[in-house]
Amino acid sequence: MRPSLYRRAEIALTLLVLRLMRYPTLLLLLILMSGNVAGKEPITIYLAGDSTMAGKLPEKRPETGWGEALQKYFKEDEVRVENHAQNGRSTRTFIAEKCWRAIIDKLKKGDYVFIQFGHNDQSKEKVDRYTSADDFRRNLTNFIADVRAKHAIPLLLTPVMRRRFDKDGNFYDTHGEYPDIARAVAAENKVALIDMHRQSETVIKQYGVAGSKALFLQLAPAENPNYPNGIEDNTHFSPLGADTMARLVVAAIREQHLALAKHLKRGVPSPPLPNEGPSASITWKINSLEKIAGQPAVMIGNPQVINTAAGKAILFDGVDDGLILNTNPIAGAAAFTVEAVFRPDPGGTTEQRWFHIQEGTNDNRVLLEIRLTGDQWFLDTFIKSGENKLTLYSENFKHKAGEWYHVALVFDGATMRHFVDGKEELAGLLTIKPLGSSSTSIGVRMNRVFWFKGAIRKARFTTRALSPGEFMSKN
């Protein structure tokens, strides 16, 4: 009788094994390979941080840490997110309470640790968690070494912004030097960095003073049983805010081409942006050499604060005076209006750059300039985005130097226009991508040439195209 199909297969397999036994190394390799395929563990991303990242108890909902929103963007069979972030922890207390050791003890080769601190480290008034700048730097450096010692991969994140606006609607930061320390440690140790500090600032500004409340734990009395008296928390996130921050992380992983990017699900949407409107506007009073709109200013030369009939302004000498701010008030805006009130004085050089916004990693920029001829000037505006760029200037529109003017550069998503005292002078078509994180120089071009001679009193930035009737007043 002929053996059954099953029996024939069994005989064939037995013969194959007997042959392979002549080559034990090859047999062992096949066994190991089959075991790896069948039992390969997913990568684990461990989250180490504070309450902005941490998971929340039911009695604290709808408060949500952004770390809770991260898992859904990764393929579950390839990446597992394990959130070890804890409310109120600084790098110092995270170590002292053995939260860090709990991560290190579980790490395996190829895992990741996302490290985000700074909120509580910088809180001098809270002695139970405050960490000096030197210790913060040392702790981050040690975290990196610990992770690498386990053949895992560290990734640093700067702290997310708190929602802070002054009485004039100007956004300001409260983290001091700590975000810069995290950036420096990442650079010194060649570790990937996701700059949530700058990216969350951009999003909060885009939502504006009123709209940004939706990103945070803001509830009216009786709106939620967990908060019968309501709550106005400008540090911790709503579900929308947490998801928005998580999407910023995902976008950065993709943009930086990190190895984790291949484990992301397809079609992850960009962070949701608000409807553009008047709320997405910020006014800078150019009347201080230390801070402008809550942003620290780096002073070049010796600009002077002066009194004018309409308030204080800053005077630039046209030789070596300028200010630089580490911010971009129109970051992420597909359409925008940049306005300023200034006084170009006679006696300066022919070309003068007096407002310059430029991305930190490339040549994309927005410029407001003047060309001076004798005691007259005309406006020169410029936008560059990738290979696309446009300059607007003409000697047919001259104005007398030594007087105060309102100027505006308006981009509606397709057309660039500029105005002097509410009158349109020039326009042209242009295609651009929104600018990302950038710096702004005042009174000089970013590379410290083409110095401005004159005074600047205020500026306003709006994330939509304004009509002349909506421009701010000159006074």
pLDDT at residue 6, rounded to an integer: 46
On whether residue 30 sits in a domain, the answer given is yes
Q: For residue 181, what is the DSSP state?
A: H
**Which SS3 state, helix, strand or coil, does residue 145 take?**
helix
pLDDT digits (tens, 9 = 90+) for 271-288: 655 543 334 678 999 999
* Residues contacting residue 192 through CB under 8 Å, at least 6 positions apart: 155, 156, 186, 256, 258
Residues 201 and 306 occupy one common structural domain: no
- pLDDT greater than 90 at residue 22: no
On whether residue 95 sits in a domain, the answer given is yes
Comparing 6 with 60, the larger pLDDT belongs to 60
Residues 210 and 342 occupy one common structural domain: no
Residues 106 and 146 occupy one common structural domain: yes
On whether residue 268 sits in a domain, the answer given is no
Whole-model pTM over 0.75: no
Provide the CA 77 distance to its chain's centre, in angstroms: 30
Amino acid present at 432: I
On whether residue 272 sits in a domain, the answer given is no
On whether residue 271 sits in a domain, the answer given is no
What would the 3-class secondary structure string for 93-156 be?
A: HHHHCCHHHHHHCCCCCCCEEEEECCCCCCCCCCCCCCCCHHHHHHHHHHHHHHHHHCCCEEEE
- Which of 235, 263, 291 lies at the terminal end of a domain, its last residue? 263
Q: For residue 450, what is the DSSP state?
A: S
- Which of 207, 233, 263 lies at the terminal end of a domain, its last residue? 263
Residues 22 and 102 occupy one common structural domain: no
Residues 201 and 322 occupy one common structural domain: no
pLDDT digits (tens, 9 = 90+) for 366-375: 999 999 999 9
In angstroms, the CA 178 to CA 95 distance is: 18
Looking at the chain, the whole-number percentage of residues with pLDDT higher than 90 is 69
Residues 26 and 72 occupy one common structural domain: no
Average pLDDT over residues 392-402: 96
In angstroms, the CA 24 to CA 408 distance is: 79
Tell me the CB-side half-sphere exposure of residue 255, using CA atoms within 13 A: 12
Residues 250 and 293 occupy one common structural domain: no
Band of pLDDT at residue 34, cut at 50, 70 and 90: very low
Question: What positions carry a catalytic annotation?
Answer: 51, 232, 236
Residues 438 and 319 occupy one common structural domain: yes
On whether residue 275 sits in a domain, the answer given is no
On whether residue 243 sits in a domain, the answer given is yes
Whether 356 and 367 have beta carbons less than 8 Å apart is answered as yes
Residue with tokens 């506007």: 281
The CATH number linked to 414 is 2.60.120.200
In angstroms, the CA 433 to CA 333 distance is: 9
- pLDDT greater than 60 at residue 44: yes
Question: Which residue range forms the structural domain that includes residue 12?
Answer: 5-38
Among 47, 37, 55, 191, smallest CA distance to 107 is for 47
pLDDT digits (tens, 9 = 90+) for 432-470: 888 887 899 999 998 899 999 999 999 999 888 888 888
Residues 180 and 56 occupy one common structural domain: yes
Comparing 22 with 180, the larger pLDDT belongs to 180
Instruction: Decide the pairing of beta strands 311-317 and 453-462.
Output: antiparallel
Residues 31 and 56 occupy one common structural domain: no
Q: For residue 171, what is the DSSP state?
A: B
385: its two tokens = 């985005």
Please give the mean pLDDT across all residues of the chain: 89
- pLDDT greater than 50 at residue 323: yes
Among 177, 107, 178, smallest CA distance to 143 is for 107
The CATH number linked to 117 is 3.40.50.1110
Whether 468 and 419 have beta carbons less than 8 Å apart is answered as yes
Residues 147 and 286 occupy one common structural domain: no
pLDDT digits (tens, 9 = 90+) for 69-98: 999 999 999 999 999 999 999 999 999 999
Neighbour-count burial for 170-196, b at 16+ CB within 10 Å, e otherwise: bbebebeebbebbbebbeeeebbbbbb
On whether residue 286 sits in a domain, the answer given is yes
- Which of 211, 234, 263 lies at the terminal end of a domain, its last residue? 263
pLDDT digits (tens, 9 = 90+) for 139-163: 999 999 999 999 999 999 999 999 9
Residues 140 and 216 occupy one common structural domain: yes
**Number of domain units in the chain:** 3
